[in-house]
């Protein structure tokens, strides 16, 4: 595979009698394995062995060769790539940690992926920098892993185009708008939005106030935010219930601001509250206001079962099921390594678990 089409002519530039480059063409020859060997301080055959895996190479030497490949942006030809197709028994997990909030929410996925990989005698290489397509290219060029699972998918994800071209299997946990030819798996955020709105509408809430993702999170373009938000808004419109979407940082101060905006002055009927992250701060803030979910107002949440059960009044919730998503992604990845599997979208079913945070209808 050729990543950079602008370099197509560079590989065939003629060389003069003494190895010179014709005038006007100097410096445009593509790097070769001989260049890699020179920079790494090894023989050309050693470079070949690192690429093919046909002979054991010390980790120090292998690292030197890979660093030289990266430095020179060397791209082996198709034959060399075929030799490099040996298994590394490593799966790459591309999971950019944009901020602490995002990192904490992603760890359940990463932990489950690591456990499953270990059970199949695989290791996990985590790539946490926001490198975009370059990160995927680097992983394949260095033959660092057999397959990659990519997270934090944006609606217009620049990694989608390169994922279609890579020779190693790539699975997206998330759904970009243009998903043709991609293997995508995710939780069904659309159905989750409808289930949570229905629960509050069925309880007779006069309004729904959503504690949405922070503006910073929204600004990243993560795909599930508009999927959930638009589904919830459409369902509220169908049910004839006004819905307010309030974006706030997921901090105690942010939650207090959300409740101030949602509840308003005392005395009026409270709206139903819908939160899209761990309900811990909301539960604590409501306690300070002497408000008890299921008695004084109705609260539902998009959160994991573990997060819900940790609250004084566990909320009725739809779990995002990060471990189920990870298990299915890994099973699919191993199927892809065993042979061709059609590209498609697979969604993990959304299910509502009723607890004690919503009052019976008419109470």
CATH of the domain at 212: 3.40.50.2300
Residues 195, 305 within the same domain: yes
Q: What is the DSSP string of 74-90?
A: ----HHHHHHTTS---E
- Taking the C-alpha atoms of residue 332 and residue 341, their distance in angstroms, rounded to an integer, is 9
Three-state DSSP at 273 gives: strand
**294 and 231 assigned to the same domain:** yes
Phi, psi of 308 (to 5 degrees): -65, -45
CB 313 within 8 A of CB 294: yes
Q: Is 95 found in the same domain as 217?
A: no
Q: Which domain holds residue 132?
A: 90-187+322-348
Contacts of 107 (CB under 8 A, 6+ apart): none
**Do residues 156 and 198 share a domain?**
no
Nearest partner of 38 among 75, 13, 72, judged by Cα: 72
Q: Are residues 183 and 327 in the same domain?
A: yes
Contact status, residue 200 vs residue 358, Cβ threshold 8 Å: yes
Of 329, 324, 336, nearest to 94 by C-alpha is 329
CA distances from 269 to 247, 256, 294, 349, 363 (A): 22, 19, 14, 33, 12
C-alpha distances (whole Å) from 188 to each of 36, 141, 302, 350 are 47, 34, 12, 6
Round to whole Å and give the CA distance between 305 and 276: 13
Q: Do the strands 316-318 and 352-353 form a parallel or antiparallel pair, or are they unpaired?
A: antiparallel
Instruction: Say if residue 174 is in the same domain as residue 225.
Output: no
- Is residue 37 a part of any domain in this protein? no
Matching residue, tokens 């290219």: 137
Residue 353 lies inside a defined structural domain of this protein:
no
**pTM score of the predicted model:** 0.76
State how many domains the chain has.
2
- Do 336 and 290 have their domain in common? no
Please report, in tens digits, the pLDDT of each residue of the chain (363 residues total): 323 333 333 333 333 333 333 443 334 466 787 888 899 998 877 887 776 665 677 878 888 888 888 788 776 654 444 444 468 899 999 988 766 666 667 888 999 999 999 999 999 999 887 888 888 888 888 888 999 999 999 999 999 999 998 889 999 999 999 999 999 999 999 999 999 999 999 999 999 999 999 898 899 999 999 999 999 999 999 999 999 999 988 788 999 999 999 998 766 789 999 999 776 788 889 999 999 999 999 999 999 999 999 888 999 999 999 999 999 999 999 999 998 889 999 999 999 999 999 998 756
């Amino acid at each position: 595979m050729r990543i950079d089409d602008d370099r197509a002519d560079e590989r065939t530039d003629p060389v003069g009698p003494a190895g010179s480059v014709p005038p006007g063409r100097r410096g445009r020859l593509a790097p070769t394995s001989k260049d890699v060997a020179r920079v790494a301080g090894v023989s050309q055959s050693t470079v070949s062995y690192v690429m093919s895996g046909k002979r054991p190479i010390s980790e120090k030497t292998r690292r030197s060769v890979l660093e030289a490949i990266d430095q020179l942006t060397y791209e082996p030809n198709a034959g060399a790539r075929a030799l490099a197709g040996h298994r590394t028994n490593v799966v790459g997990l591309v999971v950019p940690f944009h901020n602490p909030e995002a990192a904490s929410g992603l760890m359940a996925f990463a932990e489950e992926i690591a456990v499953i990989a270990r059970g199949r005698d695989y290791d996990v290489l985590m790539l946490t920098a926001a490198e975009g397509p370059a990160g995927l290219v680097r992983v394949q060029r260095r033959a660092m892993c057999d397959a990659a699972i990519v997270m934090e998918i944006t609606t217009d994800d620049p990694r989608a185009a390169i994922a279609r071209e890579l020779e190693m299997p790539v699975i997206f946990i998330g759904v970009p708008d243009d998903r043709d030819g991609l293997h995508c798996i995710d939780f069904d955020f659309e159905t989750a939005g409808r289930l949570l709105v229905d629960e509050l509408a069925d309880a007779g809430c006069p309004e729904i106030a959503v504690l949405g993702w922070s503006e910073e999170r929204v600004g990243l373009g993560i795909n599930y935010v508009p999927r959930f938000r638009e589904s919830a808004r459409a369902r509220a419109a169908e049910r004839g219930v006004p819905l307010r979407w309030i974006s706030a940082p997921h901090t105690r101060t942010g939650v207090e601001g959300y409740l101030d905006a949602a509840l308003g002055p005392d005395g009026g009927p409270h709206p139903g509250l819908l939160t899209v992250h761990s309900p811990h701060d909301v539960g604590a803030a409501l306690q300070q206001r002497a408000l008890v979910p299921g008695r004084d107002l109705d609260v539902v949440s998009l959160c994991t079962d573990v997060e819900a059960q940790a609250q004084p009044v566990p909320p009725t919730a739809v779990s995002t099921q990060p471990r189920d998503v990870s298990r299915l992604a890994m099973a699919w990845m191993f199927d892809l390594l065993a042979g061709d599997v059609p590209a498609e979208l697979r969604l993990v079913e959304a299910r509502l678990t009723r607890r004690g945070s919503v009052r019976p209808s008419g109470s």
